[in-house]
């Protein structure tokens, strides 16, 4: 069996996804590095921004805050995380993340195992009321 190629992926080269709030960049995934057990990337949230409530029916989500402060709501519990803090969201648990602070938050995430098909991996439970605005929504993702 041939080994998967080793591929470097830079955050600056990945277009942000703003559909659910903030700037989500999936860096390591089956598409980018032929991963087979999970995927990961970064989340940037400007002050007051949030990622809509959702669930992952097949995956645990691991979250690590690199910079800033976020509040994770997991089920009905709110947990504040600062730089250097980590959290695991269990499979199937509804969750939401927001930045209550005055500085931009930068978060690293990983989900695994993979869902049987990509479209089954993420279930939205709420939607953004309007198009994203603010520092994380600047043209081209420039911060």
Kindly report, residue by residue over 77-120, the tens digit of the pLDDT. 999 999 999 999 999 999 999 999 999 999 999 999 999 998 99
- Under the banding of pLDDT at 50, 70 and 90, the label for residue 138 is very low
Residue 140: per-residue pLDDT:
36
Secondary structure E strands in 84-128: 86-89, 95-98, 105-112, 123-124
- Residue 35 CA to residue 111 CA, distance in Å, equals 12
Task: Take residue 81 and report the two structure tokens written for it.
Answer: 């995380």
Buried b (16+ CB within 10 A) or exposed e, 30-50: eeebebeebbbbbbbbbbebb
- Under the banding of pLDDT at 50, 70 and 90, the label for residue 141 is very low
- Residue 31 CA to residue 13 CA, distance in Å, equals 14
Exposed, middle or buried: residue 137 (CB in 10 Å: 0-12, 13-18, 19+)?
middle
Residue 1: per-residue pLDDT:
60
Residue 128: per-residue pLDDT:
87
Q: Which residues contact 67 (CB under 8 A, 6 or more apart)?
A: 83, 103, 104, 105, 106
Q: What is the pTM of this model?
A: 0.87
Residue 122: per-residue pLDDT:
95
Residue 135: per-residue pLDDT:
47
Q: In the predicted model, what is the mean pLDDT of residues 49-64?
A: 98
Per-residue pLDDT tens digits for 1-37:
677 779 999 999 999 999 999 999 999 999 999 999 9
């Amino acid at each position: 069996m041939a080994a998967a190629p080793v591929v470097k992926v830079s955050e600056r080269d990945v277009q942000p996804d703003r559909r659910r709030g903030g700037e989500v960049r999936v860096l390591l995934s089956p598409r980018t590095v032929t991963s087979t057990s999970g995927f990961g990337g970064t989340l940037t949230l400007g002050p007051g921004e949030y990622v809509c409530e959702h669930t992952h029916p097949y995956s645990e989500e691991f979250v690590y805050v690199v910079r800033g402060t976020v509040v994770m709501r997991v089920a009905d519990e709110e947990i504040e995380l600062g730089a250097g803090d980590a959290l695991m969201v269990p499979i199937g648990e509804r969750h939401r993340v927001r930045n209550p602070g005055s500085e931009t938050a930068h978060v690293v995430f990983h989900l695994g195992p993979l869902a049987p098909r990509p479209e089954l991996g993420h279930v939205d439970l709420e939607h953004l009321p309007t198009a994203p605005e603010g520092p994380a929504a600047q043209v081209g993702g420039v911060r």
